[in-house]
Amino acid sequence: MKKTTLLIVPALLMALCPFAYASVESGAHQFKEDVKSAGRQTGHAARDAAHAIGDGAKSAGHAIADTSKRGYHATKKWVTGEE
């Protein structure tokens, strides 16, 4: 009886081994897809942040240029005495 039990257990484990391998392979594939998706989302977030910073810098630059231009013309009018 013990010999039969000792032979059945390894045979059962060998029979279930392909199922375990398929489960690990499926899990590895899902992990790979999750990592790719997370990387893609991180890349998109970094791109959006860079665009937001660039747009803010552009707006600030335009505001400074406009203020400088107005100040230049106001100073020019004051110096020349024009109204």
C-alpha distance from residue 49 to each of 4, 7, 37, 38, 54 (Å): 67, 63, 18, 16, 9
Q: What is the pLDDT of residues 24-59, one digit of tens each?
A: 677 788 889 999 999 999 999 999 999 999 999 999
Record the tokens describing residue 20, joined without a space: 């375990």
**83 within 8 A of 77, measured Cβ to Cβ:** yes
Q: How confident is the model at residue 18 (pLDDT cuts 50, 70, 90)?
A: low
